[in-house]
Chains A and B, each alone.
Chain A
Amino acid sequence: MLRKFLFLSVESVKALSRAKIPALISSITIAITLFIFSIAYYSMTNMIGYSHDFKRKYRIDVFFNADVDIHLGTELFNTILLIDGIEQGDFIDKSEAAAEFKRLFAYDVVDIIGENPLPYGGKFEIDKSYRKAVGMEKIVNEIRRIPGVDLALFSTGMIMRLDQIISNIVGIGILIGIGIFVISVILVSNTIRLIIHAKQEDIHTLRLLGATDTFIKFPFVMEGVLQGVIGAGLSILSITLLKSLLYYVLGEFQFVILEPAMLISGNIMAGCLLGIYASYRSISKYLL
């Protein structure tokens, strides 16, 4: 078994070196696919990272009824803290509310009205899993049902828009990824198919000599794997160069950079899988 494996592996390398141009075209196709996938993954990772940073600032502002005193206010505040999805909160008393008013409108409310009419309230930060418009809406509705709560607000429009943008980008990214994958599989399959077509007579001879299907198929699958590995190598090289260029152009700008080990292993694994799938597809279709 091992002898056959070694023999067929050597045969695959020889076959690949004999069909240099088609093999190179396949490898470049795989390289382009992996390069685009890596960039897409890299961009997605950065985008999701930044969106998490941004979402960390999501909060719900709650205003209690004007007749709620400090004791009831504190009680209400603690009740809200117990609601699912609330991570933590800050109690806002009347003086803090006045300070916030002054910060926002540049006027002192006591100076204008002569007393502080602002209610007690609170600012609540949201748990990571609830940082979406739907999740926040749910929490706000729950808060609004608590007697003594006058208003519970969050920036609905902005959050919904951000959610929409993220889901659009992810959706489009997935569609483009599937498209590129399909094109790549077709191109690599066609290359292997051409090689199989050129070897039809040799394959028939091998069959008549008693070769099993596995013996005949193996070198083609191995060729697919080798093309995948070469493609992955080209992709890793291109990404490394691009990364250096980005550092050079953007300087200290903070990026979530892919770990080299993950970049290499991911590309090689994806390249091999792509090569195996594409070659097996053409073998199954055109060999038997």
Chain B
Amino acid sequence: MIRFENVTARYTKETGIFNLSFTIQKSELVFLMGPTGAGKSTVLRAIIGDIPVNNGKIYVDNQEIPRFNGRKIAYYRRKIGTIFQDFKLIKAKTVFENIALPLRICGVPGKVIQDKVSEVLKMVDLTGKGKSMPLQLSGGEQQRVSIARALVNEPLVILADEPTGNLDPIVSDEIIDVLERAAAGGTTVLMSTHNYPLIRPRKKRFIELNKGYLVQ
């Protein structure tokens, strides 16, 4: 589902990712490991087309990702659900409106939006919180809203950038449970983390990075 072929995306001569090659299969949950500055976020940003790739090719669903801004990249991003460490929820919108955004962007009818959002709210255990504002929720709940937003459009791939970074161990475990369920449902999940003890019990494949290079 995701294939990196000798990908280099650098910010400076020594920072970025260098000559990375790996493959992630459909429905796989893979952890992207490494210390701060290892290049985990860069890998995710390269997949979503948020930074330019200097060399190599990235394939998602057997298609090379578009390199330029514009409609092509916008349509490509609709196939990907993204979860961020800082949630990136729109504070002026309710939980329901935040989750519905990817569907609004695609022009999905209101009735379908209502059904799908209710479904994912249930999936992330936030039933009844649709009318709340993000700031009225705990960190764990906000992250679950972010996951629900990533899931609602039934994406091919979910990219989670340190989604447990700001959460306590119990809530973090719950978040990984939700992502595991998504993977079991057919979505490919790539989650970055520097918290090895958190992912160790999951017995999933992980890709380790250090200073932008692949370790394992």
Q: Which of B66-94 contact A (CB under 8 A)?
A: 70-71, 74-78, 80, 82, 88, 90, 92
Could you tell me the distance in whole angstroms from the C-beta of A12 to the nearest C-beta in chain B? 13
Hey, which chain B residues are within 8 Å of A206, CB to CB?
Answer: 101, 105
Does A209 contact B107, Cβ atoms closer than 8 Å?
no
- Asked if A3 meets B110 with Cβ closer than 8 Å, knowing A209-B82, A210-B102, A215-B105, the reply is yes
Question: Known: A1-B107, A3-B107, A3-B109. Contact between A211 and B90, CB under 8 A?
Answer: no
In the complex, are the beta carbons of B78 and A210 less than 8 A apart?
A: yes
Given contacts A208-B48, A208-B50, A213-B70, contact A4 B107 (CB under 8 A): yes
Query: B71's contact among A7, A209, A212, by CB below 8 Å, is which?
Result: A212
Confirm or deny: A201 has a beta carbon within 8 angstroms of a beta carbon on chain B.
yes
> If A209-B101, A210-B78 touch, does A202 touch B90 (CB 8 Å cutoff)?
yes
Contacting residues, chain B, for A201 (C-beta < 8 A): 88
User: Contact: A212 with B74, CB < 8 Å?
Assistant: yes
Output the nearest chain A residue to B89 by Cβ-Cβ distance. Answer: A205
Contact B90 A205 (CB under 8 A): yes
Residues of B within 8 A of A202 (CB): 90, 92
Confirm or deny: A57 has a beta carbon within 8 angstroms of a beta carbon on chain B.
no
A3 to B92, CA, bound (A): 21
Interface size for B (C-beta < 8 A) is 24
Least CB separation from A202: chain B residue:
B90
Q: A3-B110, A4-B104, A7-B104 are in contact. Are A211 and B88 (CB under 8 A)?
A: no
A204 contacts across to B, CB distance below 8 A: 88
The interface centre, meaning the residue of A1, A18, A204, A209 with most chain B CB atoms within 10 A of its CB, is A209
**Which residues of chain A have C-beta atoms less than 8 A from B77's C-beta?**
207-210
Q: Once the chains bind, are A211 and B107 in contact (CB under 8 Å)?
A: no
Partner of B105, one of A14, A211, A213: A211
Report how many residues on chain A are interfacial, defined by Cβ distance under 8 Å: 19
Please, how many angstroms separate the alpha-carbon atoms of A115 and B109 in the complex? Answer: 101
Known contacts A3-B109, A7-B104; A210/B74 CB under 8 A: yes
Least Cβ distance of B49 to chain A in Å?
9
A7: B residues at CB distance < 8 A: 104
Contacts of B48 in A (CB 8 A): 208
* Chain B residue at minimum C-beta to C-beta distance from A288: B69
Q: Which of A182-233 contact B (CB under 8 A)?
A: 201-202, 204-213, 215
Q: Which residues from chain A contact B74 at a C-beta distance below 8 Å?
A: 207, 210-213
* Inter-chain contact B90/A210, CB cutoff 8 Å: no
CA–CA, A4 to B110, complex, Å? 11
- Which of A201, A205, A206 lies at the interface centre, i.e. has the most chain B CB atoms within 10 A of its CB? A205
Q: How far is the CB of A286 from chain B (nearest CB, A)?
A: 16
Contact residues in B for A1 (Cβ distance below 8 Å):
107
CA distance A201 to B108 in the complex (A): 24
Minimum distance in angstroms from A205 CB to a CB of chain B: 5
Instruction: Give the distance to chain A from B139, nearest Cβ to Cβ, in Å.
Output: 17
User: Please, how many angstroms separate the alpha-carbon atoms of A201 and B92 in the complex?
Assistant: 12
Residue among B50, B70, B88, B102 with the highest chain A CB neighbour number at 10 A = B88
Could you tell me the distance between the alpha carbons of A76 and B92 in the complex, rounded to whole angstroms?
Answer: 85
CB distance from B80 to the nearest CB of A (A): 8
Contact of A205 among B76, B88, B107, B108 (CB under 8 A): B88
Query: Which residue on chain A has the smallest CB distance to residue B82?
Result: A208
Q: How far is the CA of A7 from the CA of B78 in the complex (A)?
A: 18
Q: Report B-chain residues with C-beta under 8 Å of the C-beta of A215.
A: 105
Residue of B nearest to A209 (CB): B102
A51 to B76, CA, bound (A): 65
Chain A residues near B92 (CB, 8 Å)?
Answer: 14, 18, 202
- Whether A210 touches B105, Cβ cut-off 8 Å, given contacts A18-B92, A201-B88, A205-B90, is yes
**Which of B74, B77, B82, B88 gathers the greatest number of chain A CB atoms within 10 Å?**
B74
CB 8 Å contact bits of A1-13 with B (1 = contact, 0 = none): 1011001000000
Contacts of B88 in A (CB 8 A): 201, 204-205, 208
Give the distance to chain A from B179, nearest Cβ to Cβ, in Å.
18
Instruction: Specify the chain B residue showing the minimal Cβ separation from A215.
Output: B105
A204 to B90, CA, bound (A): 11
In the complex, which residues 3-48 of chain A have their Cβ closer than 8 Å to any Cβ of chain B? 3-4, 7, 14, 18
A213 to B88, CA, bound (A): 19
Q: Would you give the shortest CB distance from A221 to chain B, in whole angstroms?
A: 17
Give Cα A2 to B48, complex, Å. 28
5 contacts between A and B (CB under 8 A): A4-B104, A209-B77, A209-B102, A209-B105, A212-B74
List 7 tightest A-B contacts by C-beta distance, closest first. A210-B78, A210-B77, A212-B74, A205-B88, A4-B107, A211-B105, A202-B90
